[in-house]
Amino acid sequence: MATQTLPSRTYILHLYRSLLRASQKFSSYNFKDYAYRKTKDSFRENKNETNSERIIHLVQKAEQELGLLRRQGYLNSLYAVDRLVVEDELKGNQKTRLRGDN
């Protein structure tokens, strides 16, 4: 069995940032938030991993998830629906500002 080299810290951080960026491509708030939280939680859970085989496995899994997030984000943008009320509140509640109810 061929031995694989351990991915560098720089590559793992690049992969992490790429996953976070890909999660923000969803037009749906629920999907966007879920993918973002799942990525952060998964990396936090495994940040102290020292087993090299496990690290290689986790990186391969993250690479697969990145491809999946990119594909699903694209498909989600093709079939976008109306924004949720929660999304408007996150943007600073523009309707309230327009009415002058601050």
The reported pLDDT for the residue numbered 27 is 84
Work out the pLDDT band at 78, boundaries 50, 70, 90: confident
> What's the pLDDT tens digit per position in 2-31?
568 899 999 999 999 999 999 998 888 888
pTM of the model: 0.74
What is the rounded CA–CA span in Å between residue 1 and residue 57?
Answer: 15
What is the rounded CA–CA span in Å between residue 87 and residue 46?
Answer: 30
The reported pLDDT for the residue numbered 1 is 43
Give the type of residue at 93: N
What is the rounded CA–CA span in Å between residue 85 and residue 37?
Answer: 20
The reported pLDDT for the residue numbered 97 is 47
Instruction: Please give the residue that has the higher pLDDT: either 81 or 69.
Output: 69
Domain ranges of the chain: 9-99
Q: Which of 28-37, 41-50, 58-67 has the lowest mean pLDDT?
A: 28-37
